[in-house]
Amino acid sequence: MTNQKKPSRNLTMLTDFYEITMSNGYFSNGYRDTVVYFDMFFRHIPDDGGFAIMAGVQQLIDYIKDLEFTDDDIAYLESTHMFQKEFLEYLRNFQFACDVWAIPEGTPIFPSEPIVTVRGPVIQAQLIETMLLLTINHQSMIATKANRIVRAAQGRAVMEFGSRRAQGADGAIYGARAAYIGGCCGTACTICAPDFGVPALGTMAHSWVQLFDSELDAFRAYAREYPSNCTLLVDTFNVLKSGVPNAIKVFQEELLPRGYRPAGIRIDSGDITYLSRKARKMLDEAGFPDCKICASNSLDEYIIRDMLMQGAKVDSFGVGERLITSGSEPVFGGVYKLAGVEDANGNIIPKIKISENVAKITTPCFKGLWRLFDRDTGKAIADVVTLHDEVIDDSQPYEIFDPEHIWKRKMVTNFRAVKLRKKIFEHGQCIAEERTLEEIKRYCAEQVDTLWEEVTRFENPHQYYVDLSPALWDIKNRMIEENTALSQR
């Protein structure tokens, strides 16, 4: 099973219009072949969490591989009377030739580090900005939210149930993919099973129960149809007085005589903590301690955590709108900024964006990204952003420091240094390693486990350090000082 079904439509024009107008300007001003470096990074972790999850790289790969301006695209651009004929011919024969590096999907990521870098002709690097941000921002947001919810469930299965509340079809489809990376066990979005290999899950709606003459008749019909996977929705009328008693009756009369055991019941309304405790007692007394209880209905990580703290007897959760829309913080603020330009001799000229808002000052240069792991515990210590050709020698002690408070320093010893980003395109050719979605999901769980509990907690998590190498810090600090001096003249 592949990770991704190929898109059925050409998305080359899914770009902000100013990307095309700027590209036309680059073309007319002689910058057509100027090689630049762009970084994608983000500034804030959703829900004030301790980390985010990288996702969406496969869809970025597929988008780039399919870049092609059609005759209709060119005709539309020509109709605006804004573009040179020579530029339109360039687009007509467009061939992507950039190098692209990205952090693998499923990796925990942190603010201010370059999670994607694009090197190549400025027009090409500029044109892919919108789709690059759209893809990584959306899926990273959903994977991050899903991982929070899965961790709140403390080992209990979490199913993604949000398609009908998603922001459009792509929001549902790619959101379900990202939720699986984040740790969900499956999705109600059926198309994701053949497209991505995400298990399709589901039982019945209240309409099934309402359609029959009685709740008991509805349960009997379902048990006869699906005896090996019989999960009954018990809250259509009254969970404890009607739903659970009728479910038990059907389990006894329809499943046991045919050699089957019940899969479970689902509670979708009311005080689920209280109802699940009562339902558990009733099921156990009836001889069904193996019958699972599933909870749904506007859940999120905080509700799930509180339910379990209060003694809810729930074995799995179906989470919909607050997962698929990341309802508590529905924007992942990744940005795409110029970091360097190559001169005619191939020398990299660093570029920086200065702002009175310190958080918006960018880090210049073509960069590398490393994660340092403690050799004894396997836990992540810090990330270090370096110049692209720097190597962190993990056989020697290495000093890290807070780039904003440089007196905060630590000498790291007995560590392992790992380069985080992988090259996925070389001169426009895809060289990405193919991974199944199951492999990505498993890798995500393993990588999250390398983070200290202080980083993974929901409230006031410990700030994981993303430091700069001394050489990179010197360049950035010098450029800030030079720009400050110029502004004061």
CA dihedral angle for residue 152, residue 281, residue 232, residue 225, rounded to 10 degrees: 130
CA distance 403 to 418: 20
Can you tell me whether residue 351 is helix, strand or coil?
Answer: coil
pLDDT of residue 1: 40
Tokens 């499943």 locate to 255
Entry pTM = 0.96
Per-residue pLDDT tens over the stretch 41-66? 999 999 999 999 999 999 999 999 99
Q: What is the mean pLDDT of residues 226-250?
A: 98
Q: Read off the tokens for 387.
A: 């110049």
Beta bridge partners of 335: 41
Tokens of 488: 């004061």
pLDDT category of residue 5 using cuts at 50, 70 and 90: low
The pair of three-digit structure tokens given for residue 436, joined into one six-digit string: 């199944």
Lowest mean pLDDT among 251-260, 329-338, 463-472, 478-487: 478-487
Residue 355 has pLDDT above 60, yes or no: yes
pLDDT at 375: 98
3-state secondary structure of 350: strand
Contact 426/451 with Cβ under 8 angstroms? no
Cα separation, 130 vs 16, whole angstroms = 6
pLDDT tens figures, 179-223:
999 999 999 999 999 999 999 999 899 999 999 999 999 999 999
Mean pLDDT in residue range 116-145: 98
Residue type at 279 in one-letter notation: A
Confidence of residue 489 (pLDDT cuts 50, 70, 90): low
Q: Tell whether the model's pLDDT for residue 2 goes beyond 50.
A: no
Instruction: Give the orientation angle of helix 71-79 with respect to helix 85-92, to 10 degrees.
Output: 160
pLDDT grade for 4, boundaries at 50, 70 and 90:
low
The pLDDT, as a whole number, for residue 246 is: 98
Chain segment 326-350, per-residue pLDDT in tens? 999 999 999 999 999 999 999 999 9
- Residue 358 has a pLDDT of 85
For the stretch 380-391, pLDDT in tens is: 999 999 999 999
CA distances from 163 to 177, 323, 442, 469 (A): 12, 10, 24, 44
Euclidean distance between CA atoms 46 and 104, whole angstroms: 20
Please, which pLDDT band fits residue 167 given cuts at 50, 70 and 90? very high
- Per the structure block, which two tokens stand in for 446? 């393993």
Q: Which residues of 235-247 are buried (b: 16+ CB within 10 A; e: fewer)?
A: bbeebeebbbbbb
Q: Nearest-5° angle of CA 357, CA 361, CA 367? A: 160
Contact 293, 307 (CB under 8 A): no
Specify the DSSP class assigned to residue 103: P
Listed residue (132, 138, 98) closest to 16, CA to CA: 132
Instruction: Judge whether residue 83 has pLDDT over 90.
Output: yes
Question: What is the average pLDDT across 256-272?
Answer: 97
Q: What is the band of 89 on the pLDDT scale with cuts at 50, 70, 90?
A: very high
pLDDT band at 486 (very low <50, low <70, confident <90, very high): confident
Q: What is the pLDDT of residue 404?
A: 86
pLDDT in tens, 290-306: 999 999 999 999 999 99
**DSSP secondary structure string, 384-435?**
EEEETT----TTS-EEEE-SSSTT-EEEE-SEEEEE--EEEEETTEE-PPP-
Average pLDDT of every residue of the chain: 96
* φ, ψ of residue 387 in degrees (nearest 5): -65, 155
The answer to whether the beta carbons of residues 436 and 197 sit under 8 Å apart is yes
Of the candidates 434, 428, 152, the one whose C-alpha atom is nearest the C-alpha of residue 303 is 152
